């Protein structure tokens, strides 16, 4: 090993040390999605990051999405898909596919990746241990003439009504890494597909997580000149949404982040999942790779 390389490695380790000490025994919830979920190299880097977190005494909890994978299988099965305001209309047939992909294919792949990198992961859906209770979402849209509103039935699309953290706490205390698919169960006994960001935020709230990390396909929250905004408060987020700086799909992500902060999560990070080892870089380096959100 060259002398300069050794010095660089030592510098990285020393920079990480205070963060490792600070976050030891703390819970960090990571929402895994975007490019990081479909790029083979990034998937392995992510799994290695999660294993390292556990080895240094942090309790990582992974919540994952799977929209592209669901869409791919629906197409193969010739099942048509309709979206309303970015939400997939999910009838019973589509929900069967959603459960197959999220609770089976995607969840088990992430569990396997973590395990082959030396961790001990266990996959969950909201059905396991009566974990995630859901309630049905009915979307209200204003008609074009603004004189009436229409209730749109999205089928098996839900939101979190409550979370029982006992099964996750049991796994974390037993040295396992929970990997959660965002499927909940309603009072009617039906399964509901829930936005993974929302599940991650609610899990972080209930577990009093130190941090919530949301992986995205952007560098973070950008200003109107596409410069990265590295530190924002809840008030900043409200202002940036009002003036149009935060728009489109970033609005529900930032709303999820601010809800988590209001619910007691110390920090939320929106980070670039296209960067190798993005999770470790955000947690253990001074610079980080995304936008930090704090309550004030």
Q: Is the pLDDT of residue 148 over 60?
A: no
Query: What average pLDDT does range 199-217 have in this prediction?
Result: 94
Give 97-116 as a DSSP string: HHHIIIIIIIHHHHHHHHHH
Q: Is the pLDDT of residue 141 over 70?
A: no
pLDDT band at 183 (very low <50, low <70, confident <90, very high): very high
The Cα 238–Cα 225 span in angstroms is: 19
| CA distances (Å), origin 278, targets 65, 106, 271 | 17, 20, 7
The Cα 252–Cα 258 span in angstroms is: 10
177: exposed, middle or buried (Cβ count in 10 Å: 0-12, 13-18, 19+):
buried
Query: What average pLDDT does range 252-264 have in this prediction?
Result: 90
Helix (H), strand (E) at residue 292: strand 290-294
pTM to 2 decimals?
0.92
What is residue 288's predicted lDDT score, i.e. its pLDDT?
76
**Percent of the chain surpassing pLDDT 70:** 95
What is residue 149's predicted lDDT score, i.e. its pLDDT?
59
Q: CB–CB of 136/158 below 8 Å?
A: yes
What is residue 134's predicted lDDT score, i.e. its pLDDT?
94
Most confident of 34-48, 178-192, 241-255: 178-192
The Cα 50–Cα 112 span in angstroms is: 12
The Cα 59–Cα 274 span in angstroms is: 23
Q: Residue 209, Cβ neighbours under 10 Å: how many?
A: 26
Q: CB–CB of 231/221 below 8 Å?
A: no
Q: CB–CB of 274/34 below 8 Å?
A: yes
Which of the residue ranges 146-160, 177-191, 195-209 would you say has the lowest mean pLDDT?
146-160
Q: Which residues contact 151 (CB under 8 A, 6 or more apart)?
A: 138, 139, 140
| CA distances (Å), origin 170, targets 132, 164, 173 | 15, 11, 5
Q: Residue 243, Cβ neighbours under 10 Å: how many?
A: 10
Token pair 């090993």 is found at 1
What is residue 142's predicted lDDT score, i.e. its pLDDT?
59
Query: What average pLDDT does range 97-106 have in this prediction?
Result: 93
The Cα 94–Cα 83 span in angstroms is: 12
The structural domains of the chain, ordered by start, are 24-294 (3.40.1160.10)
């Amino acid at each position: 090993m060259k002398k300069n390389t050794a010095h660089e490695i030592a510098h990285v380790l020393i920079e990480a040390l205070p963060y490792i000490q600070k976050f030891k025994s703390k819970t960090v919830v990571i929402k895994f999605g975007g490019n990081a979920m479909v790029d083979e190299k990034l998937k392995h880097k992510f799994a290695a990051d999660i294993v390292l977190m556990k080895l240094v005494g942090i309790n990582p909890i992974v919540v994952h999405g799977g929209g592209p994978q669901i869409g791919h299988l629906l197409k193969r099965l010739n099942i048509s898909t309709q979206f309303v305001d970015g939400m997939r209309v999910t009838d019973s047939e589509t929900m069967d596919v959603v459960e197959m992909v999220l609770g089976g294919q995607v969840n088990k792949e992430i569990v396997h990746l973590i395990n082959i990198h030396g961790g001990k992961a266990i996959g969950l859906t909201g059905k396991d241990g009566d974990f995630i209770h859901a309630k049905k979402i009915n979307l209200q849209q204003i008609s074009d003439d603004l004189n009436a509103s229409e209730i749109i039935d999205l089928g098996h699309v839900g939101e979190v009504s409550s979370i029982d953290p006992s099964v996750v706490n049991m796994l974390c205390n037993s040295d396992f890494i929970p990997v959660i698919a965002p499927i909940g169960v309603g009072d009617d006994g039906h399964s509901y597909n829930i936005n993974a960001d929302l599940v991650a935020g609610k899990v972080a709230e209930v577990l009093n997580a130190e941090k919530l990390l949301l992986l995205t396909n952007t560098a973070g929250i950008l200003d109107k000149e596409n410069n990265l905004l590295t530190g924002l408060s809840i008030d900043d987020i409200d202002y940036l949404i009002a003036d149009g700086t935060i728009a489109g799909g970033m609005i529900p992500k930032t709303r999820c982040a601010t809800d988590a902060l209001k619910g007691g999560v110390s920090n939320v990070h929106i980070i670039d999942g296209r960067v190798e080892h993005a999770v470790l870089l955000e947690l253990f380096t001074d610079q980080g790779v995304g936008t930090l959100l704090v309550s004030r």
